[in-house]
């Protein structure tokens, strides 16, 4: 489930149900998200921040419910496989860049403490 902090309009993913207070809203998905789809949706949801910050807190829920995000689709349904693969590719690219950097700087054999 995602939480929406009404003061900063930031979305955060929570693995387990929880309760916070009056300045938090919870968004429950109607699907079982994967690790990568959580990342994909979190970015999309946080793109609504500017729009949500433009209204009064009392109007945020209405603005959110009436907002839309674009998803990749396949045969008329959200393409979760594409989302998972996209995030996995980004992660692999970043890890490769980091490993190359560590190799060049001589830090690839370091042990973090």
pLDDT band for 66, please (50, 70, 90 cuts).
very high
Digit-coded pLDDT (tens) for 80-113: 999 999 999 999 999 999 999 999 999 888 877 7
Q: What's the pLDDT score for residue 108?
A: 86
Lowest mean pLDDT among 7-21, 25-39, 73-87: 7-21
pLDDT band for 11, please (50, 70, 90 cuts).
very high
What is d(CA 54, CA 59) in angstroms, rounded to the nearest whole number? 10
Q: What's the pLDDT score for residue 18?
A: 76
pLDDT band for 57, please (50, 70, 90 cuts).
confident
The strands making up 10-13's β-sheet, listed across from edge to edge, are 10-13, 2-5, 24-27
- Count CB atoms within 10 A of the CB of residue 69: 10
């Amino acid at each position: 489930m995602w939480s929406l902090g009404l003061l900063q309009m930031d979305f955060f993913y929570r693995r387990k149900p929880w309760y916070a207070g009056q300045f938090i809203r919870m968004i429950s998905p109607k699907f079982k998200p994967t690790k990568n789809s959580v990342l994909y949706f979190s970015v999309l949801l946080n793109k609504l921040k500017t729009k949500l910050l433009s209204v009064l807190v009392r109007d945020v829920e209405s603005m959110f419910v009436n907002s839309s995000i674009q998803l990749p689709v396949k045969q008329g349904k959200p393409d979760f496989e594409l989302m998972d693969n996209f995030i996995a590719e980004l992660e692999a690219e970043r890890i490769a860049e980091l490993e190359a950097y560590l190799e060049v700087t001589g830090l690839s054999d370091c042990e973090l403490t």
